[in-house]
Amino acid sequence: MTIDLPSPRAALKIGTRGSPLALAQANETRDRLARAWDLPFEAFTIVVIKTSGDRIIDRPLKEVGGKGLFTKEIEEALLSSEIDLAVHSTKDMPVEQPEGLIFGTYLPREDVRDAFVTLDGKGFSDLEEGAVVGTSSLRRKAQLKNRRPDLEVVEFRGNLQTRMRKLEDGVASATFLAMAGLMRLRMDEVKRQAIDVTEMLPAVGQGAIGIEWRQNDTRTASLLEAIHDRETGDRLAAERAFLAALDGSCETPIAGLAELKDGRITLRGEVLRPDGSEVIEAADDAPISDGAELGKELAGRLLKEAGPGFFDWR
Ligand SMILES: NCc1[nH]cc(CCC(=O)O)c1CC(=O)O
């Protein structure tokens, strides 16, 4: 098969948000594509798109509401062919895409763990009673409250740099950041303690860069095949099926992680009450090709165990 390769004069357009992390992820995608197809960087252009999530920075996300706050404008640009592919943090992607778009290429996954970040390198069992922790993630808040009900949680929005500044300003004594973000931005100076996944299960998709394209654009699909990481794809199929079956709105604290071992896929999942007072968890394994069924099945078990009252806060 011959592919009409992009060139500096007819570059492939890569859409992304403009945050430093998003740009790092778009650059990694461009580098991998250029290497895989032996093309110069100039065969790709990076197009920055501002999303409603980027525009509204003064209100908590759950007040702004709606899925896809960070993806809507990017998907519109894809559909209108302003861009040829879009690079996303899989963690921020709704489980369903608009008609005509496919989200299905994944780069090799980074560290999936959360990091506990303080100015002096403390762990979360070392924080003094009643200390303030900043996070805007319902999952992290619920998981923290489950272990340390005494801690106070305050809303902490903004990019990684903004959150670090808030720590320096004393708005909170600690925050959580994804290890993947710290590594991609090479924020080596940030004092962090990586939290083992058995201690704090990460968000579905954490640490994975995912790429979306137009379903009818077979050329872009072929170009992307060369950089797709099959193992990450297999894990994400299970995790996202789990999330989809739980109807994971951003208002529900949900965590999930799939891992591959000895030719099988293992999935661990949990749902929590937002105040951390209850955690329901389950784990199982299956042949790798049955990952999506495993995700659906595990979600069903959690829903059954949680019972009809569990999600009442929504
Ligand atoms: N919700 C924001 C977001 N989306 C993806 C990452 C980190 C990178 C990743 O998990 O791939 C972050 C920041 C964070 O959670 O600290």
Share of the chain above pLDDT 70, in %: 94
Share of the chain above pLDDT 90, in %: 83
Whether residue 311 is predicted with pLDDT greater than 90 in this model: the reply is: no
pLDDT at 64: 64
- The answer to whether the beta carbons of residues 255 and 195 sit under 8 Å apart is no
Whether residue 58 is predicted with pLDDT greater than 80 in this model: the reply is: no
Measured CA to CA, the distance from residue 18 to residue 31 in angstroms comes to 18
pLDDT at 313: 58
How does DSSP assign 281-296, residue by residue? EEEEEEEGGGHHHHHH
Measured CA to CA, the distance from residue 7 to residue 46 in angstroms comes to 14
Distant-in-sequence, close-in-space partners of 169: CB < 8 Å, separation ≥ 6: none
Q: Whose CA is nearest to atom 5 of ligand 1?
A: 89
HEC secondary structure over 41-107: HHHEEEEECCCHHHHCCCCCHHHHCCCCCCCHHHHHHHHCCCCCEEEEEHHHCCCCCCCCEEEEEEC
Centre of ligand 1 from the C-alpha of residue 20, in Å: 12
- The answer to whether the beta carbons of residues 136 and 163 sit under 8 Å apart is no
Crossing angle (nearest 10°) for helices 20-37 and 160-168: 140
Best residue among 91, 137, 138, 162 to mutate for probing ligand 1's pocket (most ligand atoms within 8 Å of CB) is 91
pLDDT digits (tens, 9 = 90+) for 108-160: 999 999 999 999 988 878 899 999 999 999 999 999 999 999 999 999 988 88
pLDDT at 60: 63
Identify whether 92 is a catalytic site residue: yes
pLDDT at 248: 61
Q: Which two tokens stand for residue 275?
A: 């105040």
Sheet with 254-261, side-by-side order of all strands: 254-261, 264-272, 279-287
Centre of ligand 1 from the C-alpha of residue 253, in Å: 15
pLDDT at 252: 85
Q: Collapse the DSSP code of 313 into the 3-class scheme (helix H, G, I; strand E, B; otherwise coil) and give the result.
A: coil
Residue with tokens 């979360």, as numbered in its chain = 124
pLDDT at 273: 94
Whether residue 221 is predicted with pLDDT greater than 70 in this model: the reply is: yes
Mean pLDDT of 188-192: 91
Selecting among 4, 58, 92, 262, the annotated active-site residue is 92
- Can you list the positions of beta strands (E) in the chain? 12-16, 44-48, 85-89, 101-106, 114-118, 132-134, 152-154, 174-178, 192-194, 209-214, 254-261, 264-272, 279-287
Best residue among 135, 200, 206, 211 to mutate for probing ligand 1's pocket (most ligand atoms within 8 Å of CB) is 206
- Predicted TM-score of the model (pTM): 0.94
Measured CA to CA, the distance from residue 111 to residue 219 in angstroms comes to 31
- Answer yes or no: is the C-beta of 89 below 6 A from any ligand 1 atom: yes
Centre of ligand 1 from the C-alpha of residue 8, in Å: 31
| H/E segment holding residue 17 | none
Domains, the chain? 12-107+208-228 (3.40.190.10), 114-194 (3.40.190.10), 241-305 (3.30.160.40)
- Answer yes or no: is the C-beta of 114 below 6 A from any ligand 1 atom: no
Q: Determine how β-strand 12-16 pairs with β-strand 101-106.
A: unpaired
The residues that bridge with 153 in the sheet, in sequence order, are 133
pLDDT at 209: 98
Measured CA to CA, the distance from residue 209 to residue 238 in angstroms comes to 16
